[in-house]
Amino acid sequence: FNAGPLHGVRVVLTAGPTREAIDPVRYISNRSSGKMGYALAAALQALGANVTLLSGPTNLSTPAGVLRVDLESAEQLLEESLRAVAGAQMFVGAAAVADYRVDMPADEKIKKADATMSLTLSRNPDVIAAVRQRDAKLFVVGFAAETEKLAEHARAKLERKKLDMIAANWVGHGRAFDRDDNALSIFWNGGERELPQASKSELARQLASLIAERFLAARN
Ligand code: C5P
């Protein structure tokens, strides 16, 4: 029995990178390790939430008490997200969703031939925006990874995707991705909070309490 502040709250959380197939053996992806998302899944579970973790490929083990669904592409993530949010109260999009997918992945391994080759890419669906559109009452938390103008870009995403909260971090040049520590700036309509450099598990605990605080405030 777990009587934390999020007791009985159903949370769907996405984490890790997506993989966009080029052919049966190759793909396009990114440097996301999934560590922040997995740590947050564990921290929300520890506050009493019932967490479903929709995970791209990672090397991480499933946090205790969390239900994990594995998937690869952004399109699969969208499908699983829309399925999972039925009956949920909160959606947290920590996945590093590939912005583009390969048009018509080859059925067989592509053979090397010419000195150059091109791939045509198409925009992927925005999973978090689609989830928000599906359910206006869900409490939706997004992430933003930025290399410049952190607050400005994060606040723009908060507004554009109609999120309830956004956790922003600096990336690139050895920061955040595939590391064990991080720092976050959290923004919501009417407030913000800085979470200084700490281990991802410590940051996840702080972020989870802030999410619980805002979620409970929004519900009352
Ligand atoms: O627009 P940007 O990718 O920077 O927004 C980041 C936020 O949007 C994250 O919460 C991420 O999980 C989500 N996202 C998404 N689907 C996409 C791109 C981003 O859900 N195709």
Q: Per residue in 126-163, pLDDT tens?
A: 999 999 999 999 999 999 999 899 999 999 999 999 99
Biggest alpha carbon–alpha carbon distance for the chain? 63
- pLDDT, tens only, 38-64: 999 999 999 999 999 999 999 999 999
**Residues 3-45: tens digit of each pLDDT:** 899 999 999 999 999 999 999 999 999 989 999 999 999 999 9
pLDDT digits over 67-114, tens only? 999 999 999 999 999 999 999 999 999 999 999 999 999 999 999 999
Domains detected in the chain: 10-107+116-219 (3.40.50.10300)
Overall pTM > 0.80: yes
Atom 4 in ligand 1: residue holding the nearest Cα: 144
The catalytic site residues sit at 30
Global ipTM: 0.97
Contact 181, 198 (CB under 8 A): yes
- Please state whether 48 falls in left (phi above 0), alpha (psi between -120 and 50) or beta: left
User: Annotated binding residues for CTP, as ranges?
Assistant: 99, 109, 125-128, 143, 157, 161
User: How far is ligand 1, taken at its centre, from the CA of residue 113, in Å?
Assistant: 36
Q: Give me the helices (H) in 69-121, please.
A: 74-84
Burial degree of 179 (CB within 10 A; 0-12, 13-18, 19+): middle
